[in-house]
Amino acid sequence: MSTDFVTQLRASRPPIVLTPAGAGTITLRVEIAEIWETVRVVADPDTTVAEVKQRVVTDFFPTHGFLDEFVLKLRGWEMLDEQLSLARAGVLDGSILLLAYRRRRPVR
């Protein structure tokens, strides 16, 4: 994947900018499974997984107070150590992450 690919995909919201775009920044896409929404995130490779998760959850679920109920997945696998930097966790420029509830929710 590349930044060009991630930026051409439709997203209804403006990007979440954790680090101003420039040399060395990466652009990734976070998909929120339960609400079928996506957002681009511009961050430094040294940004922690926890920071990305917190910012995305805060933007999409502002009244939800429990970050532990959500997980970020890369290539289908939960990112267990959220204190790792994006680079150390294997996130590359153009990666796509999935934000999902930790436990399955009942369908009503």
Boundaries of every domain in the chain: 3-101
CB 57 within 8 A of CB 67: yes
| CB half-sphere exposure, 105, CA atoms < 13 A | 10
Nearest-CA neighbor of 6 among 25, 23, 19, 20? 25
Q: CATH number of the domain at 3-101, please?
A: 3.10.20.90
* Residue owning tokens 């990734």: 28
pLDDT for 40 equals 92
- 29 closest CA partner among 102, 93, 90, 78: 93
pLDDT tens-place values along the chain, 108 residues long: 555 555 555 666 788 898 887 788 999 999 988 888 899 999 999 999 999 999 999 988 888 778 888 999 999 898 999 999 999 999 999 999 999 888 776 666
